[in-house]
Structure 1
Amino acid sequence: MTENRLDPRFVRTRRLIMDAFLLLSTKKDFKNISIKDITSEATINRATFYYHFMDKYDLLEKTLEEHLMTNVMREISIHDQLNETTLASVFMSVTQFQSSLASQCRKSFESFTSVIEAIIKKELEQVFFEMMVNQNAGVREESVRIASVMLSWSIYGAAVNWQYNDTRPAEEYIQLVIPYLSQGLKFFIEEGVR
């Protein structure tokens, strides 16, 4: 299967399945979407579905990962330094991703939240780790790993808190959060040199 990932037919079929799934997510709750529904909507057979995905949970994870990678990570990649501007940009991207998904998949969004959380944290952790390693020579890798985990969880937590508990614009809210993120990052980097 790895050899075929670049084959245009493979890519097209995979996209067709993901699009069918996203369309069904706007109409039905995730738990009520069956493989039969997905294959009917995508006009493929079950064997083709299982060639691309293990089950609907695998499809959910891969679809969300791909959407996250194209939407959120594109925004992050334009920054080469981890600073307050980058943190604000990452926060805005995460909130836009969540809002977009919530409006696209109203019926299933709550079912997706734990998967969204895991994917966002994992992807942000990796990006932050790479940025911090490049930016902070001499800092222990363990400290950078801890800082990247804390930062990714903090960004995600702030985005969720804003989404459910705050009425201010996201741009205004992140300005309240940035000092905490910056101080935490500074502490971890300073401690990592020791």
Structure 2
Amino acid sequence: MDRRIQKTRELIISTFIDLLGEKGFEKITINDIAERANINRGTVYLHFVDKFDLLDKCIEKYVELLLNHCANSTDTTLSVSAFQSIFEYLEKNYTVYKLLFGKEGFGIFSNRLYAIIAQTVTEVIGIKSENHALSNGVTTHFLASGFIGTIEWWINNSMPCSVQEITEQLMFLLEPYTRHLIPR
């Protein structure tokens, strides 16, 4: 993608996130975005169909950034350091993820993240599980929704415990269900 196009898209998304935090989704207009970004309204429409498309692309971007962080982490196993790395990233980018996990994300962000995590859990269980009782949809849903629910609770409650505390508690809770998947 051309650098100028990419830079303009980033500017529009960044402006949209700022306005989302200030005004809420319902009150944002394309004119607001264009005016704040100091670009022509038509430029916004060259990149996005409408503000719903912009929200959708914004959600895609931040799901992708979170997943890229996980993929680029030095520890890609289900370990304390892997979970800690995820929560540190979320803590560092708290403002954006608070908006996306909250009412401004309309549950779309959580649903997208859930789908990706559920697919990953299904693959891991299918590959590494020797216990056939854990290779069904119930386990996948339980683990994926529990993880997403924990992240969402932590973000929406203004991170009521430290990264270390939430990581340790999550690992403690997941241990009985994942002991055969986590390397020792």
User: Given the two structures, how large is their TM-score scaled by the length of structure 2?
Assistant: 0.71
1:82 aligns with 2:78: yes
Offset of residue 59 of structure 1: 1.0
- Given candidates 9, 28, 32, the residue that maps to 1:14 is 9
Asked if 2 retains the 8 angstrom alpha-carbon contact of 1:17 and 1:42, the reply is: yes
With over 3 angstroms needed to count, the CA separation of the structure-2 counterparts of 1:184 and 1:57, relative to structure 1, is farther
Asked if 1 retains the 8 angstrom alpha-carbon contact of 2:9 and 2:47, the reply is: yes
Could you report, residue by residue, the CA deviation over 1:2-29 in whole angstroms, capped at 9, with x for unpaired residues?
xxxx122321221121122123223312
With over 3 angstroms needed to count, the CA separation of the structure-2 counterparts of 1:120 and 1:93, relative to structure 1, is farther
Asked if 2 retains the 8 angstrom alpha-carbon contact of 1:84 and 1:178, the reply is: yes
Q: Which residue is 1:170 aligned to?
A: 163
Offset of residue 35 of structure 1: 1.3
1:42 aligns with 2:34: no
CA RMSD of the aligned region, Å? 3.6
With over 3 angstroms needed to count, the CA separation of the structure-2 counterparts of 1:178 and 1:33, relative to structure 1, is same
Unaligned runs of 5+ in 2: none
With over 3 angstroms needed to count, the CA separation of the structure-2 counterparts of 1:69 and 1:177, relative to structure 1, is same
With over 3 angstroms needed to count, the CA separation of the structure-2 counterparts of 1:37 and 1:159, relative to structure 1, is same
1:73 aligns with 2:67: yes
Q: Identity over the aligned pairs, expressed in percent?
A: 23
User: Given the two structures, how large is their TM-score scaled by the length of structure 1?
Assistant: 0.68
* Distance across 1 between alignment mates of 2:159 and 2:18: 29
* Distance across 1 between alignment mates of 2:97 and 2:108: 13
Unaligned runs of 5+ in 1: 1-5, 190-194
Asked if 1 retains the 8 angstrom alpha-carbon contact of 2:12 and 2:33, the reply is: yes
* Distance across 2 between alignment mates of 1:92 and 1:145: 29
Residues 16-165 of structure 1 mapped to structure 2, 5 A cutoff: 16-70=11-65, 72-77=66-71, 78=73, 79-94=75-90, 96-97=92-93, 99-101=94-96, 109-112=102-105, 114-129=107-122, 132=124, 136=128, 143=135, 147-163=139-155, 164=157
